[in-house]
Amino acid sequence: MARLSVQLGPLVLRNPVMSGSGTYGHGREMALMCPPRHLGAWVSKTVTLEPRPGNPMPRMAETEAGLLNSIGLENRGLEYYLSEILPSMRDLDTLVVTNIGAECVEDFGTLAARLDGEAAVDALEVNLSCPNVGGGRLPFSTDARMAAAAIGRVRAATKKPLFAKLSPNVSDIASIACAVEAAGADGITAVNTLLGMKVDWRSRRPALATVQGGYSGTGIKPVALRQAWMCCKAVKIPVIGCGGIASADDALEFMVVGCRAVQVGTSNFSDPSAIGNLAQAIEHALDQACIADLEQWIGSFDNPRALAGA
Amino acid sequence: MPAPPQDARSRVARVVRCTPCGADAFVLELDPGEELAPVRASRFFMLRREDGTSPLVPRPFSLYRQQRGNLEFLIKAMGRGTRALVSAPAGSKVRLIGPLGNGWPTIDGDGPDWVMLAGGVGSAPFWMGIEQAQQGMDGKTPVRKQQVHLLFGAASSDLLYDFKGLAGLGVSAHAATMDGSHGHRGHVLSLLAQLQASGKVPERVRLLACGPERMLEATAHLAFERGWDAWLSMETWMGCGVGICNGCPIPTRAGGPRAGWPNVKCCVEGPVFHVREVDLARRVGAPT
Ligand SMILES: Cc1cc2nc3c(=O)[nH]c(=O)nc-3n(C[C@H](O)[C@H](O)[C@H](O)COP(=O)(O)OP(=O)(O)OC[C@H]3O[C@@H](n4cnc5c(N)ncnc54)[C@H](O)[C@@H]3O)c2cc1C
Ligand SMILES: Cc1cc2nc3c(=O)[nH]c(=O)nc-3n(C[C@H](O)[C@H](O)[C@H](O)COP(=O)(O)O)c2cc1C
Ligand code: FES
C-alpha cells in the first residue's frame, strides 16, 4: 500500500490533501461532513486585521466550466478569529493553516506577529493574491519586490512555517516564486483564482456586482497546473498545487509535476463531503499504478529516468 | 461561524419519478437510500445530477413533501441547473445535500391567525408547513382549520401549482392571479386586503411568505406598517448551501436582532428570517 504522508517544508502531512482557503469554512464547521483526520491540513478563510463585510451581491456566478466569485474577503477580523474561532481548533485532528490577507506590508507583519504565539496554528498561508480587493490590482502577487516585502515582513514576525499563495495573473510566476523563496517562505501555494468576468449582453449587466472577480473550478485546471509546474521548477521549497482539483487523477497530475500537496477549492461546493474521501482515492490510484513510494514519485514528470527500476 | 445543521449529510439519491406540475414545473421524487427523520417545513436541500449533466454548483430547493421515505421537490424549470434536474431519468443518481437551513418558526394555534403568502413556486414550503402546523409543532397547540389562511398568487392559473391539493389539506385557501384566470385578480397582498375588508381574515394576523423578491418586500413593508409578526423564506444565489462559500449574504437590518454584522448567510442562518432581522431595501441584485 502506498504511504501517503508527505513532507511539506518543516511540516509532515499525513496525506497530501488540503482544503483551499475560503472554500471550506473558517473553523470546525465542516467536521461533520469530513472528519478532519481525513485531511493532511485544513486551511482557514483569509483573516484580515480589521473586519471586512465583503463585497455587494451578487458575489458569485457560474460559467460554462467554473465559478466566478467576488466575495471580497468577508471575515470578522483578527480579534474575532483569535477569541472565537482559534480556541475551538486546538484539538482538531489535522494541521491547521491560518490564511492571512492584508493591503499593506505592515498589516501582514502585525497579523503574523499576533498569530505567532497561537499554539493552534500550525502554519500560515499568506494570501498575496486575492483579486477581489483593491479592484483586482493584485499588488503583492504581480510585483516580485512587493511579494518579497510582504513575505519578508511575515518571516521576521513568526517562526511558524509559512506558505506564500501566488496569483496566476502574471506572465512570469517563476520570478515571484523565487522572490518569496528568497524572502523566507517555507513553501508556495499555486494558485489563487484567475481574473475573469461574465456579462449578460441582453441586459448589458455584469453577473458580479464588482464586474470582475476570481475564476476557479474545473476550467482553470490547465492554467493552474502549468503555473504550479513553473513554480516547482523555479524553487527548492515545496509547492502546493491548487486550481480545479476534484479527483484523485487531478491531484496526482499536480503531484507528478512536482507539487508535494494539493488544495481542493470550488469542488467542495459540488459535494462538501468528497474531500474526505480524496486521500483514500489517491492511495487506491497509486496502488493500482503500483507506485509504493509517493515521496520519490513526486516530481518525476520532469525526469522520468529518476524512477528507472522503481 | 454558523455550521451546517447537525443532521445535514451529503448522499446520493435515486430518481423515482419526475412528474409535470402546472405549466413549467415538475415534482421530482427522490429515494434518499435511507429513511430521513421528519424534516421541518421550509428547510431545503442542494441538488445536483451525478452524471455530469448538471452545472458544477448544486442548486437549492425547499422540501415539498416527505412521504413513504421519499423526498419530493417542486421544481420550476429556469436555467441549466433546474432543466438538468427535471429531465433526470428514473433510476439516475442525484447528489442530495441536506436537510439544510432553519425552516418555519413554530406555527402554533395559540396566537393570531396565520396567513401563508405563496408566490408561484414559493408555494413549495407551505405543503408541509400546513401539515406540520396541523399536527402541532415543537410541542405547541396544533392549528385548527380556520386559523390558517393560504393565499396563493401566480401570474396565471396554470402557475398555481397543485392549488387543489394544497386547498385539500384543510385550510382556508384562496387564489390570486394577475390575469384573473383563477380567483382574485391581482397579487396576494391585495387579496389579503380584500379578505380582511370582508371579514374572512381577522385584522391581526401573523404572516409567513415565500415568493418573488417584490412580494417579500411588500410583505415586509405591510408587516412593519401594521406591527404584525412576519417571517420570510428568502432566496439567494447559493454556491454551497452549507456556509462555506460566503456567496449568499442578506443584509441585516440596522438596529435589528442581527445588526452585529452587516450580512447573514441565507443558507445556514436562514432561509427563514423575521422581517426585523433583514433589510430587503439594501439587497441589490437578488433573484427576481
Ligand atoms: C432556500 C431556497 C429554496 C428554493 N426552493 C425552490 C423550490 O422549492 N422550487 C424551485 O423551483 N426553486 C426553488 N429555489 C430557487 C432555485 O434554487 C433556482 O430557481 C435555481 O437555483 C435556478 O437554477 P438554474 O440553473 O435553473 O438557473 P440559472 O441559470 O442559475 O438562473 C436562471 C434564472 O434563475 C434565477 N436564479 C438563479 N438562482 C436562483 C436562486 N437561488 N433563487 C431564485 N432564483 C434564482 C436567476 O436570477 C435567473 O434569472 C429555491 C432557492 C432557495 C435559495
Ligand atoms: C468562493 C471562494 C472564496 C475564496 N476565498 C479565498 C480566500 O479567502 N483566500 C484565499 O487565499 N483564497 C480564496 N479562494 C481561492 C481558493 O482557495 C483557490 O485558490 C482557488 O479557488 C482555485 O482553486 P479551485 O479551482 O479548486 O477553487 C476562494 C475561492 C472561492 C471559489
Ligand atoms: S450558500 Fe455558500 S455560504 Fe451560503
pLDDT digits (tens, 9 = 90+) for B199-224: 999 999 999 999 999 999 999 999 99
> Which residue of chain A is at minimal alpha-carbon distance from B81?
A62
Percent of chain A residues past pLDDT 90, beyond the cut: 90
The pLDDT value recorded for residue B235 is 95
Q: Beta strand pairing status for A194-197 and A17-19?
A: unpaired
Rounded-to-integer distance, Cα A53 and Cα A9, Å:
34
List pLDDT tens digits, range A113-145.
999 999 999 999 999 987 777 666 788 989 999
Q: Is A216 an interface residue toward B (CB < 8 Å)?
A: no
Q: Which residue has the cell 412593519?
A: B224
The pLDDT value recorded for residue A136 is 66
Backbone angles phi, psi at A288, to 5 degrees: -60, -35
ipTM: 0.95
A59: which chain B residues are within 8 Å (Cβ-Cβ)? 246-247, 249
Nearest CA to B156 among B185, B136, B127? B185
Around ligand 3, the residues with Cβ closer than 6 Å are: B 238-241, 243-248, 265-267
**End-to-end Cα distance, chain A:** 15
Is 90 exceeded by the pLDDT of residue A262? yes
Comparing B222 with A1, the larger pLDDT belongs to B222
Q: Which residue has the cell 468528497?
A: A274
CA distances from B36 to A99, B93, B98, B99, B138 (A): 37, 18, 10, 9, 18
On the CB side of A261, CA atoms within 13 Å amount to 29
Residue A113 placed within a domain: yes
Rounded-to-integer distance, Cα A122 and Cα B187, Å:
57
Q: Whose CA is closest to atom 3 on ligand 3?
A: B243
Residue A87 placed within a domain: yes
- B104 near B42, Cβ under 8 Å? yes
Q: What is the 3-state secondary structure (H, E, C) of chain B?
A: CCCCCCCCEEEEEEEEEEEEECCCEEEEEEECCCCCCCCCCCCEEEEEECCCCCCCCCEEEECCEEECCEEEEEEECCCHHHHHHHCCCCCCEEEEEEEECCCCCCCCCCCCEEEEEEEHHHHHHHHHHHHHHHHCCCCCCCCCHHHEEEEEEECCHHHCCCHHHHHCCCCEEEEEECCCCCCEECCHHHHHHHHHHCCCCCCCEEEEEECCHHHHHHHHHHHHHHCCCEEEECCCCCCCCCCCCCCCEEEECCCCCCCCCCEEEHHHHCCEEECCCECHHHCCCCCC
The pLDDT value recorded for residue B286 is 56
Rounded-to-integer distance, Cα A271 and Cα A274, Å:
6
Would you place residue A307 in the very low, low, confident or very high pLDDT band (cuts 50, 70, 90)?
low
Q: Whose CA is closest to atom 26 on ligand 2?
A: A265
DSSP A15-79: SSEEEPTTSS-SSSTTTTTS-GGGSSEEEPPPB-SS-B--PPSP-EEE-SSSEEE-----B-HHH
Q: Which residues of B touch A (CB under 8 A)?
A: 1-4, 6, 8-10, 48, 55-58, 95, 97, 236-237, 239-240, 242-247, 249, 261-263, 283-286
Nine-digit cell string for B166: 394544497
Q: Which residues does A259 contact at the CB level (< 8 Å), separation at least 6?
A: A16, A190, A228, A232, A238, A239, A240, A241, A298
Around ligand 2, the residues with Cβ closer than 6 Å are: A 20-23, 45-46, 67, 69, 71, 73, 99, 127, 130, 165, 192-193, 216-217, 220, 242-245, 264-267; B 245
The single-letter DSSP state of residue A3 is B
Burial class (CB in 10 A: 0-12, 13-18, 19+), A51: middle
The pLDDT value recorded for residue A80 is 97
- B43 near B97, Cβ under 8 Å? no
Nearest to A53 among B97, B262, B286 (CB): B262
Contact state of A268 with B244 under an 8 Å Cβ cutoff? yes
Residue B78 CB less than 6 A away from ligand 1: yes
Q: How are the residues of chain A apportioned to helix, strand and coil, as percentages rounded to the nearest 5?
A: 35, 20, 45
Give how many domains chain A has, as a whole number.
Answer: 1
Is 60 exceeded by the pLDDT of residue A100? yes
- B174 near B152, Cβ under 8 Å? yes
Cβ pairs bridging A and B (under 8 Å): 111
pLDDT in tens, chain B (288 residues): 889 999 999 999 999 999 999 999 999 999 999 999 999 999 999 999 999 999 999 999 999 999 999 999 999 999 999 999 999 999 999 999 999 999 999 999 999 999 999 999 999 999 999 999 999 999 999 999 999 999 999 999 999 999 999 999 999 999 999 999 999 999 999 999 999 999 999 999 999 999 999 999 999 999 999 999 999 999 999 999 999 999 999 999 999 999 999 999 999 999 999 999 999 988 766 555
Sign of CA dihedral A50, A53, A58, A61: positive
Nearest CA to B217 among B274, B260, B279? B279
Contact state of A25 with B10 under an 8 Å Cβ cutoff? no
B244: which chain A residues are within 8 Å (Cβ-Cβ)? 23-25, 29-30, 268-269, 272
Report chain A's mean pLDDT, rounded to a whole number.
94
Nine-digit cell string for B104: 418555519
Is 90 exceeded by the pLDDT of residue A102? yes
Using DSSP's 3-state secondary structure scheme, residue A293 falls into strand
Contact state of B4 with A59 under an 8 Å Cβ cutoff? no
Burial class (CB in 10 A: 0-12, 13-18, 19+), A65: middle
Measure A21 CA to ligand 2 centroid, in angstroms: 5
Contact state of B1 with A74 under an 8 Å Cβ cutoff? no
Q: What is the mean pLDDT of residues A76-90?
A: 96
Q: H or E segment at A177?
A: helix A173-182
The pLDDT value recorded for residue A310 is 44
The pLDDT value recorded for residue B281 is 86
Would you place residue A2 in the very low, low, confident or very high pLDDT band (cuts 50, 70, 90)?
low
B12: left (phi over 0), alpha (psi -120 to 50) or beta: beta
Rounded-to-integer distance, Cα A296 and Cα A292, Å:
9
Report chain B's mean pLDDT, rounded to a whole number.
96
Residue B187 CB less than 6 A away from ligand 1: no
Q: What is the mean pLDDT of residues A272-298?
A: 95
Contact state of A271 with B284 under an 8 Å Cβ cutoff? no
CA A70 to chain centre: 17
Residue A42 placed within a domain: yes
Residue A210 placed within a domain: no
Structural domain span for residue A159: 6-56+72-195+217-307
Q: In CATH, what number is assigned to the domain containing residue A162?
A: 3.20.20.70
Residue A66 placed within a domain: no
Q: Which residue has the cell 441547473?
A: B81
Nearest to A57 among B9, B55, B286 (CB): B286
Helices A221-234, A173-182: crossing angle, 10 deg rounding: 50
Q: What is the mean pLDDT of residues A203-222?
A: 96
Is 70 exceeded by the pLDDT of residue A65? yes
> Which ligand 2 atom is the nearest neighbour of the CA of A73?
8
Contact state of A25 with B261 under an 8 Å Cβ cutoff? no
Residue A61 placed within a domain: no
Residue A62 placed within a domain: no
Sign of CA dihedral B252, B74, B86, B38: positive
Residue A65 placed within a domain: no
Q: Is A25 an interface residue toward B (CB < 8 Å)?
A: yes
| Domains, in order of start, for chain B | 9-100 (2.40.30.10), 113-282 (3.40.50.80)
